Amino acid sequence: MRGKFQYILTIISLIILNKIYAQEIDVNVTVNMEQLPFEARTQVSNMESDVKNYINNQKFTKTDWKGDKIPVDLTIYLAGGTNNRFSARLLIISRRFLDGPDKGQSVNCKFYDQKWSFEYGLGAYLKYDPNTFNAFTTLIDFYMNLVIGFDMDTYGELDGSPAFETAKNLVLLGASYSAEGYQTYSNPGEFNRFNLASELNNVRFNDFRKLIFSYYVDGLDRMATNKQQAIAAVDSVITEMSVFKEQKMTGPSVLLQEFFDSKAQEIAGLFNGYQKKQVFQYLKYLDPTNSTIYDDAMDGKIK
């Protein structure tokens, strides 16, 4: 009896420890070597498993993570390879689980980074150290913190702020080494690491971040239980976003661009054939690049 009691206590302790120290991300990694010469491919043959193990076994925040891990697809497109030096493009897509019986998922953020160069070879040792710049891991750390921050922002207003602050510090760390892609000077609205991290840490964009929270909690999370009310809530969010752009933005915003780059297809599907036409005007004002998609949704042509 005593042994059984101790066994139960051990199981409970393991469950508690898992909840306290749970890691945040469940990543699927793909490494595309099509542009590499065959002789260079051996040096990166383990990169896929290296990166997957690095992310899935690393805790990136001090948060007591609860609930499901964040599903992330990470694709690395490699080029170069001379003397173990590579250039790469990085595509990251993260998803957010929705409330409801179907446990659906929504693309939460999508990043495409084309400025990444590093040395890599067999036996590479990937170590998490947010205070030391590493040409390979610092960029991964930057985007994983963004993924976590965007996810946390959808469960509590501005809850992602600590992760966004870490992401900005990583950009500044890279900039101090004059590393590619980490420059702190750019044109207003130019999509780069520094501009995105800066907006996410700027109180001027807090209201927009709160609207993203409402988009999920008042909109998508209620879709399974009361679709009509959920659509009305998303309509209200889009209306308020247009007011935010008109009254509080002084120029282009990379955060706004990031949101609609990730959400255009989803939003068009939600409003497909929607009778209140004003929302489509707001969408085209907020996201003119995808005007055709919104016109199709207004005409009920989204399949």
Q: Do residues 109 and 232 share a domain?
A: no
pLDDT tens for each residue of 29-88? 999 999 999 999 999 999 999 999 999 999 999 888 888 999 999 999 999 999 999 999
Q: What is the mean pLDDT of the chain?
A: 93
pLDDT of residue 8: 54
Position 223 pLDDT exceeds 90: yes
Question: Smallest Cα–Cα separation from 257: which of 286, 284, 281?
Answer: 286
Beta strands (DSSP E) in 174-253 are: none
pLDDT of residue 190: 87
In a domain, residue 18? The reply is: yes
**Among 113, 137, 152, which residue terminates a domain?**
152
Q: Do residues 132 and 44 share a domain?
A: yes
Beta strands (DSSP E) in the chain are: 25-32, 70-80, 85-97, 105-119
**Among 152, 167, 191, which residue terminates a domain?**
152
Q: Do residues 147 and 72 share a domain?
A: yes
In a domain, residue 175? The reply is: no
The span from the CA of 187 to the CA of 34, in Å, is: 33
Q: How many domains does the chain have?
A: 2
Q: Which residue has the tokens 């306290």?
A: 20
In a domain, residue 157? The reply is: no
- Residue pair 95/109 in contact (Cβ under 8 Å)? The answer is no
- Residue pair 86/78 in contact (Cβ under 8 Å)? The answer is yes
- Residue pair 81/40 in contact (Cβ under 8 Å)? The answer is yes
Residue type, 228: Q
Q: Do residues 25 and 94 share a domain?
A: yes
Question: Smallest Cα–Cα separation from 89: which of 111, 69, 68, 104?
Answer: 111
**Among 104, 135, 152, which residue terminates a domain?**
152
The span from the CA of 236 to the CA of 216, in Å, is: 12
The edge-to-edge listing of strands for the beta sheet with 70-80 is: 25-32, 70-80, 85-97, 105-119
How far is C-alpha 300 from the chain's CA centre? 29
Find the helix or strand (DSSP H, E) in which 96 lies. strand 85-97
The stretch 203-216 carries a mean pLDDT of: 98
- Residue pair 84/160 in contact (Cβ under 8 Å)? The answer is no
Q: Do residues 132 and 32 share a domain?
A: yes
pLDDT of residue 40: 95
3-state secondary structure 81-94: CHHHEEEEEEEEEE
Tell me if the pTM is above 0.75. yes
Q: Do residues 63 and 146 share a domain?
A: yes
In a domain, residue 178? The reply is: no
Q: Do residues 143 and 30 share a domain?
A: yes
In a domain, residue 256? The reply is: yes
pLDDT of residue 6: 56
pLDDT tens for each residue of 227-282? 999 999 999 999 999 999 999 998 999 999 999 999 999 999 999 999 999 999 99
Q: Do residues 142 and 214 share a domain?
A: no
Q: Do residues 18 and 117 share a domain?
A: yes
Q: Do residues 273 and 145 share a domain?
A: no
In a domain, residue 98? The reply is: yes
Question: Smallest Cα–Cα separation from 255: which of 212, 216, 298, 302?
Answer: 212
Q: Do residues 145 and 29 share a domain?
A: yes
Residues above pLDDT 70, as percent of the chain = 93
Q: Do residues 29 and 111 share a domain?
A: yes
pLDDT of residue 95: 98
In a domain, residue 167? The reply is: no
Q: Which domain holds residue 134?
A: 2-152
pLDDT of residue 66: 86
Number of C-beta neighbours around residue 108 at 10 A: 23
Query: What is the band of 101 on the pLDDT scale with cuts at 50, 70, 90?
Result: confident
In a domain, residue 8? The reply is: yes
